[in-house]
Structure formats: structure tokens, C-alpha cells
Structure 1
Amino acid sequence: MKKFAIILCLQVMALSLSVQPGEDPEQIGSYLGQKPPGRTPEVFAPGIVSTGAHEFAGSFTPDGREYYFTRRESRQSPTRIMVTRCIDGTWTPPEPAAFNATAAGPNAMSFEPMVTPDGKRLYFSSDRPLTAGSGPAGPPQLNIWYAERAGDGWAAPQDAGTPFNPMQVMYVSTARSGTIYTTDISKGPAGAAIAVMKPTASGYGAPQRLGPPVNGDTPGMYPFIAPDESYLIFSRMRPGEAIDQVLFVSYRNADGSWGEPRALDLGMRAGTPCVSPDGKYLFFSGGERGKSDIYWVSAEILRASAQTR
């Protein structure tokens, strides 16, 4: 189980794409001053976010003025959450977020940040020890942590506790209702599935796996839920195919059930989806294994899929 979670993480971290040389990009305006894409995916913020390192899994705050994403400079470097902020209309150079696991060791991992729709909490994965001040008894475990908003920054991260940990779920996406959609990894690599966690008076209920048609014969992972829970984007494995990891979108039916998932034609291997707070753009880590970065594409690609249902 531990080996699977770490391998799955490393597969995502192995995605990188070389950036073409050129002038320093301007970092003014929305989305780091980038020209919005159409229905063809484009690398997001070359030279700023996408630098040729291993970069994936990003999330904006609701006001669109902070962007958190994961970066690993090299195999010898720590995996860290980076942040860039829009201050007086100009975006700052990305820097490590304050809640990275530096105290847990030089190679400790913090990755896959996801900001909740209300902006009050940021979930992420980390292999830091669950007990403060103690080292892990065995191999590092990947668990869910969160930080609460405190002024312009974030409070010290907290272990999400049961039923998130130890190593039960990964990649947390929250709806406006507080319901969480996540990847249930409790049954190992062949059994990874999209699950839902409902808020309770004391926290959250145990992960409940969604049935067909969302979960099928191959592993499902990396869900992103629309704030109003009207649609669900997730990644599904396709072993043996040329593109072996594909993003799908499923829309909720009037009776509350989920519609048949439809593959998004992105033309590349894709994972870790996240839609911008304004609903205009889909962000994802894309490309062939070992050669990917953070991409973005117009969310019209989602609406086009809905029209073909």
C-alpha cells in the first residue's frame, strides 16, 4: 500500500516539459498575464510556473490572486508546494509555501495543493510524520494535511486525521457544500477509485466509493468536483493504450445520479485536473510519462462534452 502511493506520486512528479528559451514573461494581470487558451491545451505560464522542472497539480484561491502548485527541481530535490501572488496587479516570482515539510528533512514531500471554494482551507499531501516532532517508524507515508487561512497567510498545517489518514485517500477536492471527492487508495493499485466523504458534526465520514459509471474496471483517481457538484472530472487509467491516463467528465443527472463519463480530447496523457474559480479554464498536468507540465485549456471543452450527451 505504501509502495503504491509513493509510486503513484512519483509517476505524477515524473511529468515535465522543457520550456523554450525567450524573453522574461510579463507577469501582469489575470492568470499571471498569460494569453487565454482556446480548445487546444497550452503550457501554462512558461518560464514562471512551467520551467522545465517537474511541475503539476495547481489550484487558485477563489479571488484568483494566489496560485499554488507542485514543483520538484530534480530527482535530488525536495517536492514542494510553490506559490505566486498577485500584488498591486503584478505576480510575484513563485516561492516555496510556508507550510512545506522542511522541518521533516531535506527531501520531505508536500504536494497536490487544493484550495476549498470558500478559500478558508488548503488541503495537500505530505510524507511528514503524523506525530509532531517524531520521525516515521518505517518508510515515509503519504497522508492528507490541511492549513487554515489566517489573515493573508496560513496557520500551521494540521494532520487531517481519521478517516483521511493513515494513507486512506489522496487528492482532495471540496464542493461548496463541504462534501469531499477524493481518491480512495485503501485497496492498493488495482483498486484505486473515486470516493466521496460527507461532512459530519465531528468532521468527515469514511470514504464511500462511487458506483458505476464513474468507477469501472480500471483505477480512477484525481477527482475535481465542481463547486455546485454539477460535474466531476477525474483521471482513469487505460493500461496498454498509447495514452494510458485520460481525463473524463461526468455530469450529474436530474435524479442525482452521475451520467456516463466522457473522455476529454486533450491529445495527451493527463491527470490532476482543477478548474479555475471563475469556471473559464481547466488546468491539468499533461503529456507523456516523464514529459509533462501544467497545461490549461478553455472550459468550453467541458461544455462541448455536455452537449454531446
Structure 2
Amino acid sequence: MNKLLSIFLFVVVFYSCKNNAISYFDQEPPSTTPKLFAPSVVNTKNIELNVVFNYDNTEMFFSRIVDNSFVIHHSELINGKWSKIKPIKMYSDSILVSVACDPTITKDGKTMYFLGVDPKLYKNDITREKLYRIPPDIYKSKKVNGKWELASKVDFSISTEYIETYPVVTEDGSLYFRSNRPSDKGGMHTYRAQYLGNEKFANPVIINTKTEKKELITYVSPDERYAITNGQGKFQITFNDNGEWTKPKEIPLKYENNWRYYCPYMSSDGKYFIYSRKYNTPEKRGWAGVVKGEVYWVKADELLFATQ
């Protein structure tokens, strides 16, 4: 191979790798010490939570509390530049106070599932405390001609009169979520609904994660090889061993007192663990008392997979 050809191939490979590099808002990637994710872009003086990306890392989503509403925001990677952060309108103009959070995106990037609260169950003058007590459901929005449409509730086998939270869509379109719907075991459990196509799902079945302290799945890898659970204010990881989930092992973060850790997520390249945490005033429990919400990211390989 002559020298000129060698130089040409080097340049092609170099720029190919450079163009395929994943962009995270020009941030310096974190090490094994967690860092705030995109300060002033995602993390602001507002309460923010649950950063997620689509499969090809060209659209980023997160939730922000604005005027007592949970509002999903997003940014798109266009010609190598992230667009300005904008809210996504999920409900009609007549809805002044609403809940839309915990987005999860299908592989084709055209369907978003998220946690929502039925606007018909409350009035616009509802207090923040009452709004957060209404049982949430799982909603979906379709992206048509580059725009996310108004949301609708997922079919009755998924969204019921009971609590449904933390939707996570897998590579084949199936949904994991948590629900306290009636079952032989009672209480809150992780469910999986196999995707059948044409926006239909099989009846959800309970997933046994061999928990001891009510750890429930809140994130599943697209190939369902591993999942992250949440219990006792900490994260755990469990692996799928030929259809059986292993006993969850704690992810060794430095958990700070008085903060609640939730909304685990893995970056689309599998390199970074992204999570949220919130701080409550001592006087109020639940979301009504949250005064600070932040999103962090940290290098994942040693933190998560050394436990396998």
C-alpha cells in the first residue's frame, strides 16, 4: 500500500469516527464521579428530571416543572447542532395544569410513551397537592412530519383505573411499567406487555425480579439483557439469565441523605448512567414538597457492570 493511499484511508476513518461520535451538548464526559448533566441547558433553577434520548441520539427529552405542571421538553440535533430547548404540547389549550413526564421512545423514534394524568379527572384550578394524588396512566404521542402530536391514553390493558408508572419501551416495542392493579400477589409490581404490532399489546404479566425490599424495574435495556430497579431510595441492577431475572445488586453511588434517587436511564451508546434526584422540604412528602430536582450522569461500565 503506497503512502498516499495510507494517508487517504486514515483521513476517511478519522472523519467517519468523528462524524459518528455521539454529541452530549458539547459536555466533557463524566468519569466515575457523577456530574450535573448539561448545566443551564437541562439543569436550571427549575425542578428537572428524567433525561432520555432516542435510539440514534438525535433527540433528547426531559421533564421540567413549570407553573405546577410536569412538562416534557426536548432538543433535536440538526446539522450537528442541538436546537434550543422547547416544551412539547401534549394536551389541548384548555388544560392549564397537567402532568407529562418519564418519556420513553420507540426504536424508530416516532412514538413516545410517558406518564400522564387524565385531564378529565381534575379542574384547572386544582392544587399541586391534589393533582399529584390522582392515579397516573401511560400515554403516547406520535411524531408526524417532525412534530409531536397531542397525546392519548394507551389501550385499556395498559392504562387502567389503577396506578401505572415508569413506562419503558424495549427494542421490539414491548412495554415494561409498574402498577398496583389487582393481582394474586397484591401491591405494586413490575409488568411487561408484549407488543403485538398495530399499536396493540398482549395482556401484561408480572415480572419476578427476586426482590427483597420492594425493588421494582424502572429501566430496561433495549435488548432486555439487564434492568435497573429502584428500592429503598437507591438503585439496583438485575440481569436477564435465560428469561430469569437475577437478584438485584445495589449500584454503588454515593447516596446523600434527604435526597431521593429515581428515573435511571442508560445513554444510547451504553457508556453513561443518567439519573435524577429530588429534595423535599421536611414539612411535605411527595412531589408537593419537592423544592429541588437535578439530573446527573456518570461513567457506567465499572459502576454498573462490575456487579455482574
TM range (shorter): 0.7 to 0.9
1:149–1:197 Cα change, 3 Å: same
Aligned partner of 2:295 in structure 1 is 294
For residues 15-54 of structure 1, the aligned pairs below 5 Å read 30-54=23-47
1:284–1:102 Cα change, 3 Å: farther
Structure 1 spans left out of the alignment, 5+ residues: 1-28, 130-134, 239-244
Aligned partner of 1:256 in structure 2 is 243
| TM-score (ref. length: structure 2) | 0.76
Alignment check: 8 A CA contact 1:173 1:182 kept: yes
Aligned partner of 2:305 in structure 1 is 303
Displacement over 6 Å in runs of 4+:
none
Return the alpha-carbon distance in structure 2 between the equivalents of residues 47 and 297 of structure 1. 18
Within the candidate set 116, 119, 125, 2:115 is matched to 125
Which structure would you say has the larger RCO, counting Cα contacts within 8 Å and 6 or more residues apart? 1
Q: For 2:39, what is the secondary structure of its paired residue?
A: coil
Return the alpha-carbon distance in structure 1 between the equivalents of residues 213 and 179 of structure 2. 15
Return the alpha-carbon distance in structure 2 between the equivalents of residues 280 and 31 of structure 1. 12
Aligned partner of 1:110 in structure 2 is 100
Q: For 1:302, what is the secondary structure of its paired residue?
A: helix
CA positional deviation for 1:96: 0.6
Q: For 2:25, what is the secondary structure of its paired residue?
A: helix
Within the candidate set 153, 171, 181, 1:176 is matched to 171
Structure 2 spans left out of the alignment, 5+ residues: 1-21, 124-130, 281-289
Within the candidate set 68, 81, 84, 2:61 is matched to 68
What is the percentage of aligned positions where both structures have the same residue? 24
Q: For 1:103, what is the secondary structure of its paired residue?
A: coil
CA positional deviation for 1:294: 0.9
Q: How many residues are aligned here?
A: 259
Alignment check: 8 A CA contact 2:170 2:221 kept: yes
Alignment check: 8 A CA contact 1:102 1:108 kept: no
For residues 85-164 of structure 1, the aligned pairs below 5 Å read 85-98=76-89, 100-129=90-119, 135-136=120-121, 140-164=134-158
Q: CA RMSD in A?
A: 2.4
Highest Rg: 1 or 2?
A: 2
Return the alpha-carbon distance in structure 1 between the equivalents of residues 209 and 142 of structure 2. 34
| TM-score (ref. length: structure 1) | 0.76
The CA deviation string for residues 11-38 of structure 1, in whole angstroms up to 9 with x for no partner, is xxxxxxxxxxxxxxxxxx7111111111
Alignment check: 8 A CA contact 2:136 2:163 kept: no
